[in-house]
Amino acid sequence: MTLLHPLCAVTAWLALLYKLSGLRRARADTALIALCCVLGFSAVSFTVSLPVVWAAVDRLSGLPGAASLALQASVMSLAAGQQVLLAYWMEPPERARRRAARRLLLTGAAVVGMFVLFLLTVLSRSPSAGLLVPASERGYSAAYSLLYNTVYGIVETEVCFLCWQYARVSHLWLRCGLLTTAVGAVLTLSYSAVGAADAIARCAHLPPPGWGQLAWTCGDIGSLLKLLGWTLPGWGPQAYGVTECLRKHRRYRRLRPLWLALYQAMPAIALRSHISWLAKVFGAPGLDFRLYRRVIEIRDGQLALRDRVVPGVTGAAVKRGLAAGLRGDDLQAVVQAAQLASALRARENGRQPGTDGMVEGPVRVTLADEIAWLMKVSEAFAHSPIVGEALRDAALARHVPADEPGTDASRGTDRSATGSCGPR
């Protein structure tokens, strides 16, 4: 046993419980039943392999080696379940039924053969010693091991081949799951190969290869990968949905500095008032809508300020940006942030509309493009020192006193940090 056995056992039981919840709603789904059988037999095999359980099974049965038979019969059963699962996932029902029947017959015959050879091994007990004769001296034990490892190796080879074959015609998450399962099957093949080599060595009265620990480790890692692969189509999209939600929330928060400055200057851009936590619980719009709404509100604010850009700010921002090594979109984002800061200040001070136009930035085709661009502008608006420097340079050029960079007029994040409220 390796230290991975407990981890594999816990993973298998958790995966089984996860899938059993779906089985209650789809009792006639043969593929789901097969998957639950795979996970169940996998959980049993890893649980039996734990030292405490292993000793208890041998003690309660009164047959040394009974735990090994239970473990390997469970492994053969889950191997058969894998093939039934693949058949019903990828084949029409009639073909899947025929394929599953053939595979169940093969593995069933192998399990019966293992049971018979196990009983013959027990019956060949040495009466004088009262113990099983060592496996290296008993042909029954070697035949048992050879039968188990050969059939299991054949089944896993076919599982690996089918997973690679079906992965090419599957959707994203099923393809990822099948490929993960295929890699796991390759690793578990090393376990059966070492076991078969050990059985052959016993039959030939040769010393065993001595790779038992390596075979157990590869088998455990492969089994863990197969557990993940079989269940990945179920939990993968949900996990991706969580990460996508976190990503959208991060985008939403990164737009806040620019949005807050525009909202504080022009509250009318908000489509609705502040949403309380109670309203969010009982049906307020989701994050997608709120992110979309924030983009629209920022764009409305930009349009309202397009004629208030202070003359000279654009040139000063370009000069400062080039001196700082900015190029392309980064430079345009800083320039637009400086223009917005100057327009907000001009509006606050009641100055007449300016003559400079506002930089439009790169071409945006999708909402994702627009969000990415506005995040750049918001980041520059909140943190770039070039914004304050450009405002000061433009003011000095006109001989007009400028506020110090970092005030609320040029950086909307200071008020955000102190807890200013507004629609979110």
What pLDDT digit, counting tens, does each position of 281-321 carry?
A: 444 457 888 899 999 999 999 998 888 888 889 999 999 99
Whether 195 and 201 have beta carbons less than 8 Å apart is answered as: no
- For 286-315, letters b (16+ CB in 10 Å) and e give eeeebbebbbebbebbbebbbebbbebbbe
- What is the rounded CA–CA span in Å between residue 215 and residue 192? 8
CA distance 132 to 268: 88
Q: Given a cut of 50, is residue 418 above it in pLDDT? A: no
Confidence at residue 357, expressed as pLDDT on a 0 to 100 scale: 73
Q: Which residue has the tokens 């000063």?
A: 316
pLDDT attached to residue 197: 79
pLDDT the model gives residue 128? 45
Contact 288, 266 (CB under 8 A): no
Which tens digit of pLDDT belongs to each residue from 123-171? 776 544 444 444 434 578 888 888 988 899 999 999 999 999 888 888 8
Name the one residue in this structure whose structure tokens are 């029902």. Answer: 93
Q: Which residues, at least 6 apart from 126, have a Cβ–Cβ distance to it below 8 Å? A: 132, 133
Of the two residues 279 and 115, the one the predictor is more confident about is: 115
Range 164-172, long-range pairs (CB < 8 A, 24+ positions) = 166/86, 166/89, 166/90
Question: pLDDT, tens digit, for every residue of 165-187?
Answer: 888 888 888 899 999 999 999 99
Contact at 8 Å (CB) between 342 and 309? yes
Q: Residue 408 — pLDDT band, cuts 50, 70, 90?
A: very low
Q: What is the pLDDT of residues 85-123, one digit of tens each?
A: 999 988 888 898 998 998 899 899 999 999 998 888 887
CB atoms within 10 A of CB 87: 24
Spell out the alpha helix ranges (H) of 307-399. 313-323, 328-349, 367-383, 385-398
Please say whether the beta carbons of 5 and 223 come within 8 A: no
| DSSP secondary structure code for residue 136 in this structure | G
Is the Cα dihedral 250, 256, 258, 259 positive or negative?
positive
Contact 178, 218 (CB under 8 A): no
- Predicted model pTM: 0.67
Cα 346 from Cα 265, distance rounded (Å): 11
Question: Which of 22-31, 276-285, 381-390 has the weakest average pLDDT?
Answer: 276-285
DSSP 407: S
C-alpha to C-alpha distance for 77 and 80, rounded to whole angstroms: 5
Q: What confidence score (pLDDT) does residue 397 get?
A: 77
State percent of the chain over pLDDT 90.
39
Tell me the sheet residues that pair with 131: 126
